[in-house]
Each structure stands twice: as C-alpha cells, then as structure tokens.
Amino acid sequence: MAKIAFYGKLAERIVREIEIDLPAAGCTIAALRTRFEGLDRATVRACVNDETVGEGHVVLPGDRVDFLPPLSGG
C-alpha cells in the first residue's frame, strides 16, 4: 500500500487522500499519474516522502506520495 494525497483543486476533484495497492517492486511516478485524471506533469509536482521527485522515481509500498498543483501563494 502507498498513500496518495492531493491538494487544492485536485483534492476537490479527486480526493484528499487514498491508499492504493502497489506491487512489491513499486511503480514509477509516470505510471502512477495515469491512474488519475488531470495529473499533468507540466504543472502538477510529485513529492515522495516530502521530497520532489522526477517521473522515473519508483514509489514503493509504504511511501507517501503528494501531487501538488501550482501553488497559489499566500
């Protein structure tokens, strides 16, 4: 299992947080994006365990993934 969290308009459209099953070998951020709608790589940043990661990063069971839409700022 891995926890996937969404923020801002993504949370409104998809869900705040969801747990998903992952194979033991994990899955890449690029593959994870395809499981949800609207996770455009050009604008939606992916973080794993609070670190920004690239498309090839492998998400493993137990990881926490955050998909961050463009910031509004304060």
Partner 1 sequence: MRIETRLAHEAFQPERELAGFSTEGAGAVVSFTGLTRAETLEGAAVVGLYLDHHPRLTEQSLRDIAASAARFCVDAVRIVHRCGAIGPSEAIVFVAAAARHRRAAFDAVDCLMDALKTDAVFWKREDGVDGARWIEPTEADRADRARWSEPCPD
Query: What is the Cα–Cα distance from 69 to 73, expressed in whole angstroms?
Result: 12
Please tell me whether residue 8 binds partner 1 under the rule CB under 8 A: yes
Please tell me whether residue 3 binds partner 1 under the rule CB under 8 A: no
Count CB-CB contacts under 10 A for residue 42. Answer: 4
| Cβ within 8 Å of residue 58, ≥6 positions away | 25, 26, 27, 28
The partner residues of 64 in beta bridges, in order of sequence, read 3
User: C-beta of 72: minimal distance to partner 1 in Å?
Assistant: 4
User: C-beta of 11: minimal distance to partner 1 in Å?
Assistant: 6
- Judged by CB under 8 A, which stretch of 24-32, 33-41, 53-61, 65-73 contacts partner 1? 65-73
Contact residues for partner 1, defined by CB under 8 A: 7-9, 11-12, 47, 50, 66, 68-74
